[in-house]
A and B are shown apart, each in its own frame.
Chain A
Amino acid sequence: MVTAWLILFAPLAAAIAILLVAIHRPRLASTLAIAGLGTSFAATVWWFLQALHQPMLLPSETSVNWISLPNLTIPFGILLDQLSLLMALVVTGVGSAIFIYSTGYMAGDAAYSRFFGVLSLFAFSMLTIVLSTNWIELFMGWELVGFCSYLLIGHWYAKPSAADAGKKAFMVNRVADFGFLLGILALWAASGATPAERTFHFHTLQLRLPLLAHAGTIAAGTLPVIGVLIFCGPMGKSAQFPLHVWLPDAMEGPTPVSALIHAATMVAAGVYLLCRAFWLFEGVPQVLTLIAWVGGLTAFLSAGLALVENDLKRILAYSTLSQLGYMVMALGLGGRVAGMYHLTTHAFFKALLFLAAGSVIHGTHEQDIHKLGGLWRSMRWTSLLFLIGALALAGFPGLSGFFSKEEILVLAHEHSAPLYWIGTLTAGLTAFYIGRAWCVAFLGHPHADSHSGHGAAHESPPVMLIPLALLALLSLSAGYVGIPRFLGEHAEEFHWGVAIISLIVVGLGLGLAWLIYYRRAISAQQLAHALALPHTLLQHRYYIDDAYTWYVETIQQRLIAGLCAWIERALIIGLFVNGIAWLTQTAGRVLRRLQTGVVQTYALVFLLGILALLSRVFAW
């Protein structure tokens, strides 16, 4: 089991070591970080191979008591089963590649050591989520990844937009976690009659909840409510509509962060959670339907947003949203395997895309696609690798994305016609926007305006390209290694009809992009003009950000907080406190009239007092 603990704690050890000894030694810091995550990766691989040889080894669980009180025991432990092992493999594997890439990308950064320290901490937190045995442990990891994400988005905190984006990401996740934590608490309360009986433990809950529900101990409406509350968590972390707004802004962070956290791993944690707690949602079909629709809408709406975006990283961010929507939809349709499958392949190709985009940014210091162009000439390798990722994303036959997306579409085809069509349409949009991005940024001629900017465009160093190549290899091959089989459950059958339709749609998307943005056969401006209404809507991001800004600034800050501050100032301090003070002072002002200053008045009062006393003592 030492190896299992090693998976979890090697990155944490690296983070602590960086903080203690390497904060002013960048080389040492990156070495430590890579060593930490590398150890973790090696341990995961070791377990993976073991598990392949002896499937009986899984699931395996070990834990220590984090809190043990007479009424409450919260363990902290490691649960290794097919699901967590696969996810850990993705996290450590993709993570290692990105760590190595970062040494090149972040070279010369002022806060290089801090970057790697937080990155290591992130790896630890993410693995805590993945390997957790109970809800509290998972929640701790959940919050910690949010914190790391906050720090990494705001890595260049001098930029106001970056600092704001970090804040926004943390805030939106906090709002989501409000529901999530309530869900966890409610679930705990429902899991037993007395405090000592209640538990957070996944496995125990999985076994106990159906019994309790069956016995009627849990009220009929409770479980759906719990389900919805817990789903709030993934909605925030995996940026589902309408809590998606933080993810595009999160692109302010360094690109490796976008790749690791905001594409491959952290945002997928929501999907992972849905898989992990699938037994909970299985019992409440109405919640599953909700999940599926939220996922489907997210997939479609964010694909739309990607159509009009000009920032290369933001296009990828919307694409991430859209793909996460696919995964959530898959889960909502009951496709645990399909969801995880897509999560895995997406981690590969999206990390690839981001890192390639990072390579572009590294070489040109520009991320507006219209100011790029002709990169095919100056950055041959990067362009090729980006193309592989783009095709995988678009679902080009034979690449990994194709297989996993097919699974989801087949699933949708079986369960829900509207969601199937939404999914298919989204596939077309996906192909179109990624085609557009590639055509505009990599083909054509270097843009006239930005000669100064990327006139010196240069290919990135090998330390960045090699991880890219590895990821590209995975994106090409991940469809053939039998991930669903490893997960040990029945996968969807290949469905020719679905495949052909989606191929047609994808082909249309790519073709249109080619026509519009490379051949210029159709003018993009005229198209936008013709579709003015949707175009405006998309350009304003459905006005959702505006609505939130309005809510936060006007309602929350000015109205609610302002009202409370006014109550505090005017009523509590003004009326209540100062009012009493005023009353006291007024009483003093009135009563001091008694002090005439004439000695005899005092003597008189004295005398009257004596009389009163006499009358009391010698009452006649």
Chain B
Amino acid sequence: MPSLLFSTPHLAWLMISPTHYVRLSAVLFAIGLMGLMTRRNVLMILLCIEVMFNAANLAFVAYARAWGNLDGHVVVFFIITVAAAEVTVGLAIAILLARQLKTLNADEVRLLKW
């Protein structure tokens, strides 16, 4: 797998650089995204979003490391804040859905249709 994905020179994969972290974050992000696209349960969708948030965080921190400043960390701080807010509201909506529509299935929730 790695040799297919990564074209660094031989043995370079043992020298861990921020690039590795960034690539890892890409993979994690894609996994979260696939989950987001395929899952039907609203809670699962929210969980997948969390995965994607964290993947992004990883990339930020890796780049902060690479460029030697702390701005990336601060951004992660903000992302975590946003994620917390998002989860709070998202879960509240999920509860509301379960209570009013008796379902958490995203396919059945079509209030935005037309």
Contact = CB atoms under 8 A, between A and B. Distances in A.
A–B touching in complex (CB under 8 Å): yes
Interface of A: 592-593, 595-600, 603-604, 607
B114 A607 contact: no
A595 B110 CA distance: 9
A596 B37 contact: no
A600 B113 contact: no
Contacts of A603: 36-37
Contact of A604 (B37, B45, B111): B37
A115 to B, nearest CB: 71
Interface string B91-114: 000000000000000110111111
B112 A595 contact: yes
Q: Is the interface of B mostly helix, strand, loop or mixed?
A: loop
Given A603-B36, A604-B37, A607-B33, A597 B45 contact: no
B92 to A, nearest CB: 16
A598 B110 CA distance: 6
Contacts of A593: 114
Contact of B114 (A592, A599, A600, A604): A592
B24 to A, nearest CB: 19
Interface of B: 33, 36-37, 45, 106-107, 109-114
A319 B111 CA distance: 87
Contacts of B114: 592-593, 595, 597
B71 to A, nearest CB: 23
B111 to A, nearest CB: 6
A603 B107 CA distance: 13
B112 A600 contact: no
Contacts of B37: 600, 603-604, 607
A592 B110 CA distance: 14
A596 B110 contact: yes
20 contacts: A592-B114, A593-B114, A595-B113, A595-B114, A596-B110, A596-B113, A597-B109, A597-B110, A597-B112, A597-B114, A598-B106, A598-B109, A598-B110, A599-B106, A599-B112, A600-B37, A603-B37, A604-B37, A607-B33, A607-B37
Contacts of A599: 45, 106, 109, 112
A255 B36 CA distance: 97
A600 B35 CA distance: 11
A100 B106 CA distance: 98
A122 to B, nearest CB: 71
A612 to B, nearest CB: 16
B87 to A, nearest CB: 16
Nearest to A602: B112
Nearest to A589: B114
Nearest to B36: A603
A196 B114 CA distance: 68
Given A596-B110, A598-B109, 12 more contacts: A592-B114, A597-B111, A599-B45, A599-B106, A599-B112, A600-B36, A600-B37, A600-B106, A603-B36, A603-B37, A607-B33, A607-B37
B72 to A, nearest CB: 21
Nearest to B37: A600
A19 B70 CA distance: 91
Contacts of A607: 33, 37
A599 B109 CA distance: 8
A599 B40 CA distance: 10
A614 to B, nearest CB: 12
Nearest to B107: A598
A344 B112 CA distance: 90
Nearest to A599: B106
Nearest to B113: A597
B34 to A, nearest CB: 11
A598 B111 CA distance: 9
Contacts of A604: 37
Contacts of B110: 596-598
A595 B113 CA distance: 5
A372 B110 CA distance: 92
A303 to B, nearest CB: 81
B36 to A, nearest CB: 6
B86 to A, nearest CB: 14
Nearest to B49: A603
Q: Which of A593, A597, A603 has the largest count of B CB atoms less than 10 A from its CB?
A: A597
A407 B107 CA distance: 107
Pairs of residues from A and B, 9 with the lowest C-beta to C-beta distance, nearest first: A597-B113, A597-B110, A597-B112, A592-B114, A595-B114, A599-B106, A598-B107, A600-B37, A595-B113
Contacts of A600: 36-37, 45, 106
A597 B110 CA distance: 4
Contacts of A595: 112-114
A283 B112 CA distance: 85
Nearest to B112: A597
Contacts of B109: 597-599
Contacts of B45: 599-600
